[in-house]
Amino acid sequence: MEQYKQEFIDFMVESDVLKFGDFTLKSGRKSPFFMNAGAYVTGTQLARLGEYYAKAIHETYGDDFDVLFGPAYKGIPISVVTAVAYAKLYGKEVRYCSDRKEEKDHGADKGGFLGSKLKDGDRVVIIEDVTTSGKSIEETFPILKSQADVEIKGLMVSLNRMERGKGEKCALDEIKELYGFPTAAIVSMSDVVECLYNKECQGKVVIDDTLKAAIDAYYEQYGAK
C-alpha cells in the first residue's frame, strides 16, 4: 500500500472522520463503521485532505483534466481544497465547479452552479466524500451534461465502503457500469482493515479482534460481489 494511503487512513481516524462502533446508516443497515467528511473543520485538516485527494487523482487519472466538480454540499469544500493542492503539488491550475441545491436568481453569478462555468470540451473529475448508493451521481450527472459537452474523466471518493449498492456490486462499480466513466477511491475498507487491525493508531489499537469480527460479519451480509 502506498505511503500516502496509510497516512490518509491514520488521518481519518485522528480527525474523528472514520468512526467505529454501532451506526444505523441512511439505508437502514447497521454498520460497525461510519465516515463523516463533515468532521474536517480546521485549516490544517482541510489542507491535508486536499493533498490526499490530489495525490490520488494524479496517480489514478493523471493531469489530463480541466475541472474538479464537487456535488453540493460536502463536495464543495473538497473540490476547492483539492484544486489548491493540485496547484501546489503539481503546478497545474485546475478549476473548481459545484452545483447549488437552490438556484440563485440574482447577481452576476446567478444560476445553478458555483465556481467555474463549464465549457464544451472540458474534462471533468467528479470528487465526493463517499458513495454508498450512487444517488448524488444520479442527480448531478445529467445536470453536468446539460451544461456543456463535457467529458467525465472519472470519479474520486475518500472511501470505498465495498458494500452492495442497489444490486450485488458496490456503488462505485455500479456507477462505472451505468455511466461509462472510471471510478476510484483514495482507500478501501480492506485497506483500512489491513492498516489498522491489531496495530496502534494514536496510542491505541483501533480494530481489535472483536471489531474485526463485526466488520467481517457486516461484509458477509452486505459485501459487494
- Provide the annotated active-site residues: 104, 106
Q: Which three cell numbers stand for residue 208?
A: 481489535
Q: Please name which of 169, 196, 173, 197 lies closest in space to residue 184, comparing C-alpha atoms.
A: 173
Cβ atoms of 222 and 164 within 8 Å: the answer is yes
CB contact at 8 A, 192 and 211: no
How does DSSP assign 90-113, residue by residue? H----EEEEEEEEEE-SSTT-EEE
Proportion of the chain in helix, strand, coil states, percent, rounded to 5:
40, 30, 30
Q: Count Cα atoms within 13 angstroms, Cβ side, for 26.
A: 8
Respond yes or no on whether the N-terminal peptide bond of residue 73 is cis (omega within 30° of 0): yes
CA 47 centroid distance within chain: 15
